[in-house]
Amino acid sequence: MNGIERISRTICGQSVDRQPIYGWVSENLSREISEVFGSVAAFEDRYEFDVAHIFGGPWSFDGETFDRIRAEHDELSPDVLLDYDIFTSPDKMSDYDNIARSIEHHKKRDRFCYVQTPGFFEHFNTVFGIENQLLYLALYPEELGELYKRQAEWTLRFAEHCISLGADMIHLSDDWGSQKDMLFSPKTWKELIAPNVKTVADFVHSKNRFVSLHSDGCIAKVTDGIADLGLDVLHPWQENANMPLEMYLNKYADRFGIMGGICVQSAIGIMNREDLEKEIRRVFGLLKGKRWICCTSHFVQKHCSMEDLIFAYDLIYQLARE
């Protein structure tokens, strides 16, 4: 069984030959990993990663248009943006060359490839700043809803091109949670964000591909809604943000898969090795055989030593095969 088959079957709740493994390791530790293994790719090969998380392609916001808007207006608010075409074209295929190269590399290794694309709230934080956007959710809900809708329309074209290049899953990145609760109300989520997530999910499913979501923090108040939208995978299911794994196992294990389990905030790079081993074994004890892709909860942080990273992945490699 190769990685593509292993991940696809795990997401669908079917039996596999071993637990699939992955890790977000490159963002902060590329140099350190390369010094030990020769390259990040060699690290991925050493631990036989089943998954590839692929970035790239066009950015949806048109920088020149935003420069013009800022020159013409004192405040960059949602009502102002509606008067402009702020999006780039998603149809210039040369913009996808980096995605195509990455997919080709990982498909040669029989890895399941998912491509990240911006979500809605998180994406517009790059325009407004998070504090302003939280305010605008109250002041300009209809205008923000229209902007999110236009982003969803752009995302459909982006997703279609990625799928044509061989992507197995489209991955929406859209942080909705803080450490203890959501950043906004479930009502706001239901009215402004969920319809656009559904638009993307329905389209990707029509192409017989999977859809996943990354959201940091506590999003327990909308996990029923996530299941109802038909999302296939949620990353990371953050235990240290008021989301115990027992909640997933009791309520959602038959509705969607999860990716994560190895926390970068409280475990890897934080715990001593004895405690880290106990923690990894605890997570495997709860999730092995479930709809679970063993992965870090986010990018491993720079304070994680290579010795600790290797210790963790040696153990993960072993436990996945026992």
Tens digit of pLDDT for each residue in 22-76?
999 999 999 999 999 999 999 999 999 999 999 999 999 999 999 999 999 999 9
Q: What is the mean pLDDT of residues 273-283?
A: 98
Q: Is residue 210, in this structure, part of any structural domain at all?
A: yes
3-state secondary structure the chain: CCHHHHHHHHHCCCCCCCCCECCCCHHHHHHHHHHHHCCHHHHHHHCCCCEEEECCCCCCECHHHHHHHHHHCCCCCHHHHCCCCCECCCCCHHHHHHHHHHHHHHHCCCCEEEEEEECCHHHHHHHHCHHHHHHHHHHCHHHHHHHHHHHHHHHHHHHHHHHHCCCCEEEEECCCECCCCECCCHHHHHHHHHHHHHHHHHHHHHCCCEEEEECCCCCHHHHHHHHHHCCCEEECCCHHHCCCHHHHHHHCCCCCEEEEEECCCCCCCCCCHHHHHHHHHHHHHHHCCCCEEEEECCCCCCCCCHHHHHHHHHHHHHHHHC
Question: What is the band of 151 on the pLDDT scale with cuts at 50, 70, 90?
Answer: very high
Question: What is the band of 254 on the pLDDT scale with cuts at 50, 70, 90?
Answer: very high
Which residues span the domain enclosing 30? Answer: 3-58+98-321
**pLDDT, position 166:** 98
Question: What is the band of 221 on the pLDDT scale with cuts at 50, 70, 90?
Answer: very high
Question: What is the band of 80 on the pLDDT scale with cuts at 50, 70, 90?
Answer: very high
- Whole-structure pTM value: 0.96
Q: Is residue 53, in this structure, part of any structural domain at all?
A: yes
The sheet carrying 210-214 orders its strands as 51-54, 112-118, 169-173, 210-214, 233-235, 257-262, 292-296
Q: Is residue 271, in this structure, part of any structural domain at all?
A: yes
Counted domains in the chain: 1
Q: Is residue 212, in this structure, part of any structural domain at all?
A: yes
Amino acid at 231: L
Q: Is residue 157, in this structure, part of any structural domain at all?
A: yes
**pLDDT, position 67:** 94
Q: Is residue 70, in this structure, part of any structural domain at all?
A: no
**pLDDT, position 49:** 98
Q: Is residue 11, in this structure, part of any structural domain at all?
A: yes
Give the CATH number of the domain where residue 244 resides. 3.20.20.210
